[in-house]
């Protein structure tokens, strides 16, 4: 199955555009997973927390997105491997996106692609575009795996360089243009477009109606869901994976019930927005209806 087919299948089978971010900060684990007698709580707390999150959301999540920094900071690569294996058992249709923002010259990028796709078995990995084509190609070489390229990110510093304009287009538009036109032969490229910048997202949707966006920034970072849906949904009411990390996994102190409730609520709010959404009219149809 190609990456594009896997993405579409994950959204259809879950009935959802929700991506659950697995960012288990050891300092913020639920109280009952700190020092409890359970051996998982004792020795593998990140894995124990992830099992809880996956159990609570397996029927709702179109994708899971572990942020590798939280595992590599504490030497918990084995818990990341175990967590991804657990997702495959409990939610076999869900995509696994390794959020690693990898980037390097060609032969090193190939090693990073092996890390994401072979070692961890992820379906897709996030990639930084600053180093250009040869640093991105290795992540797009396998049609069954995807690369999700940083475009307009959700953080305050996004404006520092991504908004710099050359010949009338900001850098993030140049990144999207180059990627969509030249690097996407396998239709396995997505873009990271932050929920905190709906105007920029609307421009990108207009320019690239066929490219799917991974959307961080809902919740803790302040992005507005309705504005995101209005700006980013494609002509089929899809084209988005909307990530929530802290807003789901730390809901209600991290209890299973609160995690599930937060994910259900987000999925429902998204689907209400999708039902109410008037798809954007393709530019070429203007004036003909």
Nearer CB in complex with a copy of itself: 58/204:
204
Is 18 in a helix, a strand, or coil? strand
Whichever of 15 and 132 has its CB closer to a copy of itself, that residue is 132
Q: How many CA atoms lie less than 13 Å away from 64 in the CB half-sphere? A: 31
User: 260 CB contacts (<8 Å, ≥6 apart)?
Assistant: 56, 57, 60
| DSSP single-letter state for residue 14 | H
Name the 3-class secondary structure at 212: coil
At closest approach, how far in Å is the CB of 171 from a copy of itself? 6
Nearest distance, CB of residue 161 and a copy of itself, angstroms? 6
Tokens of 11: 């959204």
Q: Measured between alpha carbons, how far is 190 from 11 in angstroms, rounded to an integer?
A: 15
Give yes or no for a contact between 135 and 105, defined as CB atoms under 8 angstroms apart: yes
Quick one: 86 or 117, whose CB is closer to a copy of itself? 117
Catalytic residue among 28, 34, 65, 101: 101
Could you tell me the smallest distance in angstroms from the CB atom of residue 62 to a copy of itself?
22
- Residue closer to a copy of itself by CB (options 179, 263) is 179
Phi, psi (5° rounding) for residue 72? -70, -25
Give the integer Cα–Cα distance in Å for 172 and 203.
Answer: 11
Q: Which is nearer to a copy of itself, 42 or 133 (CB)?
A: 133
Least separation in angstroms between CB 65 and a copy of itself? 12
Residue 249's alpha-carbon distances to 21, 29, 220, in angstroms, are 8, 9, 12
* 208 CB neighbour count, 10 Å cutoff: 22
Nearer to a copy of itself, 192 or 270 (CB): 192
Shortest separation between residue 49's beta carbon and a copy of itself, angstroms:
15
Q: Residue 92: how many CB atoms within 10 A of its CB?
A: 10
Q: Residue 92 Cβ, how far from a copy of itself at the closest point, in Å?
A: 24
């899971």: which residue's tokens?
Answer: 64
Residues 64, 249: contact at Cβ < 8 Å? no
Judged by the rule CB under 8 A, the positions of this chain that interact with a copy of itself are 23, 25, 67, 69-70, 72-75, 77, 99, 101-109, 111-112, 114-115, 118-119, 128-136, 150, 153-162, 164-166, 171, 174-175, 178, 216, 221
Strands 169-170 and 213-215: what pairing?
Answer: unpaired
Q: Is 101 a catalytic residue?
A: yes
Catalytic machinery residues = 101
């Amino acid at each position: 199955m190609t990456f594009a087919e896997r993405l579409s299948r994950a959204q259809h089978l879950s009935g959802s555009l929700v991506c659950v971010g697995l960012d288990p900060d050891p300092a913020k684990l639920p109280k009952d997973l700190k020092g409890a007698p359970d051996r998982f709580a004792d020795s593998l707390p990140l894995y124990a927390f992830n099992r809880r999150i996956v159990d609570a959301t397996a029927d709702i999540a179109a994708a899971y997105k572990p942020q590798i920094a939280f595992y590599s900071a504490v030497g918990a690569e084995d818990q990341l491997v175990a967590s991804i294996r657990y997702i495959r058992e409990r939610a076999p249709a869900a995509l696994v996106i390794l959020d690693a923002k990898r980037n390097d010259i060609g032969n090193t990028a190939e090693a990073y692609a092996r890390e994401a796709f072979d070692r961890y078995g992820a379906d897709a990995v996030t990639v930084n575009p600053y180093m250009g084509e040869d640093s991105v190609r290795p992540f797009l070489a396998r049609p069954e795996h995807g690369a999700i390229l940083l475009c307009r990110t959700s953080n305050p510093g996004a404006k520092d360089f991504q908004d710099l304009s050359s010949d009338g287009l900001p850098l993030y538009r140049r990144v999207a243009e180059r990627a969509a036109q030249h690097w996407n032969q396998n239709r396995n490229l997505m873009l990271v477009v932050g929920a905190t910048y709906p105007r920029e997202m609307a421009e990108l949707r207009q320019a690239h109606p066929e490219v799917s966006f991974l959307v961080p920034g809902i919740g803790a970072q302040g992005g507005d869901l309705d504005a995101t849906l209005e700006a980013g949904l494609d002509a089929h009411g899809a084209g988005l994976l909307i990530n929530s990390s802290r807003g789901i996994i730390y809901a209600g102190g991290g209890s299973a019930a609160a995690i599930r409730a937060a994910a259900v609520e987000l999925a429902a709010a998204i689907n209400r927005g999708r039902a109410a959404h008037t798809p954007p009219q393709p530019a070429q149809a203007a004036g003909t209806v």
